[in-house]
Each structure stands twice: as C-alpha cells, then as structure tokens.
C-alpha cells in the first residue's frame, strides 16, 4: 500500500467510525470540539526569501516539518485550544551555510487560545522559544493562521462567499471518501490584502514597511471529522521606501508553501 493509499484508508476508517453520530450535515462546515479532541497534523512549510537593497541581493530558504497536536474543548468563546509540537525540525539556508538548531527545548511547549467556529484564532499564551530556534524560525505566531477560515454560511457547490477584506472562499466539486459512504467537501480560497507596519530598525529609527500579501489555498473537509488536509501558497512583497533615515529603497519577496495533513494514525494525547 502506498503512503497516499494508507492515508486515505486512515481517513476512511476514522470517518466510517463516526457516521451516524456526527453533526447535522445541513449545518455547513464548522470547527467543533468533537473534531479536535486530540488531533494530529503533519505540517510541511517551505519558504523562499529574496531581498534587494541598492546592488545587494539576498536569497535565503527556510523550512519547517513537524507534527502539531491540537486539543479542543467547548467554551463560551468558541473552542478553547491547547496545541503543541510533538516533533519538529526547522532549518535555514543562506550564503553562509545551513542552520538546523536542536528544538528539544521547544517541544511540548503549549500554545493556548480560542478558535471560533469559522477558524479565527485568538491567542492567550505561546510556548517559550529558545533563542537559537527563534533565530531560524518565528514559531510564536504559528497558531494564528494555522487553521483555514470557513465561510460563515453554508455554500452549495460552485458558490462563493467574500468578506470585506477581499478574501474569497468557494466551494468546489466534492469528493467521496475511500469507503464511498461520506462526501468530502472541498473549499478553495483566494485573498489579497495590504498591510503597513511600523517597525523599529534601531533604537532611534523606525520605518514603515508596506506589504502586499497574496494567498490561495484548498481545504478538504469532513462533516464528521472536520479538517482533513489543506495547502496554502503565500506571496508577500514588502517595500521600505528611501526616506526618513533610509538611504536606499529596500524590497523583498517571501514565497511560502504550506501543506498540512491530518494523521489519524498518530492521534492521541501522550503529554
């Protein structure tokens, strides 16, 4: 059996075990505590960074591979979330070489917060990130955009929903799970937004970073089990204009690909 076949079989077995006891199929996609009692997600992140200032060019790459465990319970604020990395590897490659720090001091540290039924996360606590790990990977905001957003209304296949920021979520053609007993919903999203952040470069200099963020992705969703897998592609173009103490315009582009797959075979809170 191939890895993909084993994965699909795992989905099918987990979904079949819950049929007849799942949420109302007419309710549309919603994150529920039953979906995330103790869920494991294999995450792969690849990032490419290109920066230019004057005649200087920087081209770096970075990566993250881990198993993130998420535990949820119902609360008055939606779902109370506790999450941690059970395994993790991070690395960064630059002109000077490759860095891959030991993450043992980070593993098991807790993210805590709340998840709305449509996937908006509000953080309350983040784990301690050792300095040598933080120099390679920014792990504090991991949960903020980990789960894909769901439309607040139930969409028929082929219909879309848009929010005021320009995010568009469309429900595309469904698939059947390997048992043939449940429909797997598929959502695709696209978004474009601009962000202007004021950032301190030194104690005496703060600059405005103008960012254009483009994003697209696809989610596979089970009404019985919740999120099964998703992909996300981000392109962030940033520019610091030559003014206010900045002698030359600085531009950079960050391109990132994220793949997350539910691992039913690894689920279970051991910590």
| In a domain? residue 106 | yes
| In a domain? residue 183 | yes
Is residue 24 over pLDDT 50?
A: no
Q: What is the domain-level CATH number for residue 48?
A: 2.30.230
pLDDT at residue 62, rounded to an integer = 95
The tens digit of pLDDT for each residue in 92-128 reads 998 888 999 999 999 999 999 999 999 999 999 999 9
pLDDT at residue 43, rounded to an integer = 97
Per residue in 18-50, is it b (16+ CB within 10 Å) or e — as a string?
A: beeebbeeeebbbbbbebbeebbbbbebebebe
Positive or negative CA dihedral for 242, 253, 90, 11? Answer: positive
Which H or E run includes 180?
none
The mean pLDDT value for 51-75 works out to 86
Q: Which domain holds residue 63?
A: 3-17+25-266
pLDDT at residue 230, rounded to an integer = 98
How many structural domains is the chain composed of?
A: 1
| In a domain? residue 39 | yes
Read off the pLDDT band of 131 (50, 70, 90): very high
Read off the pLDDT band of 9 (50, 70, 90): very low
E strands within the chain?
39-53, 56-75, 78-94, 97-99, 111-115, 121-125, 160-162, 168-176, 183-202, 205-222, 226-240, 250-262
Model-level pTM? 0.81
| In a domain? residue 271 | no
Whether the CB-CB separation of 64 and 88 falls below 8 Å is answered with: yes
Is residue 245 over pLDDT 60?
A: no
The mean pLDDT value for 221-227 works out to 92
Bridge partner residues of 62 (DSSP) = 47, 92
């Amino acid at each position: 059996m191939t890895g993909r076949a084993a994965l699909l079989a795992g989905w099918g077995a987990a979904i079949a075990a819950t049929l007849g006891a799942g949420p109302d199929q007419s309710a549309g996609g919603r994150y529920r505590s039953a979906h995330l009692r103790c869920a494991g997600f294999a995450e792969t992140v690849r990032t490419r960074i290109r920066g230019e200032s004057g005649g200087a060019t920087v081209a770096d790459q970075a990566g993250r591979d881990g198993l993130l465990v998420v535990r949820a319970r119902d609360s008055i604020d939606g779902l109370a979330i506790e999450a941690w990395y059970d395994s993790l590897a991070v690395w960064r490659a630059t002109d000077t070489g490759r860095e891959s720090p030991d993450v043992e001091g980070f593993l098991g540290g807790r993210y805590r917060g709340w998840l709305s039924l449509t996937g908006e996360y509000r953080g309350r606590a983040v784990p301690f990130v050792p300095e040598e790990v933080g120099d390679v990977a920014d792990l504090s905001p991991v949960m903020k955009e980990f789960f894909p957003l769901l439309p607040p209304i139930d969409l028929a296949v082929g219909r879309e929903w848009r929010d005021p920021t320009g995010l568009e979520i469309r429900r595309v053609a469904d698939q059947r799970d390997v048992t043939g007993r449940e429909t797997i919903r598929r959502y695709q999203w696209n978004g474009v937004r601009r962000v202007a952040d004021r950032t301190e470069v030194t104690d005496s200099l703060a600059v405005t970073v103008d960012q254009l963020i483009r994003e697209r992705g696809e989610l596979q969703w089970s009404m019985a089990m919740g999120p099964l897998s998703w992909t996300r592609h981000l392109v962030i173009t940033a520019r610091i204009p030559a003014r206010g103490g900045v002698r030359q315009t600085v531009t950079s582009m960050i391109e990132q690909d994220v793949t997350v797959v539910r691992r039913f075979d690894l689920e279970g809170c051991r910590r």
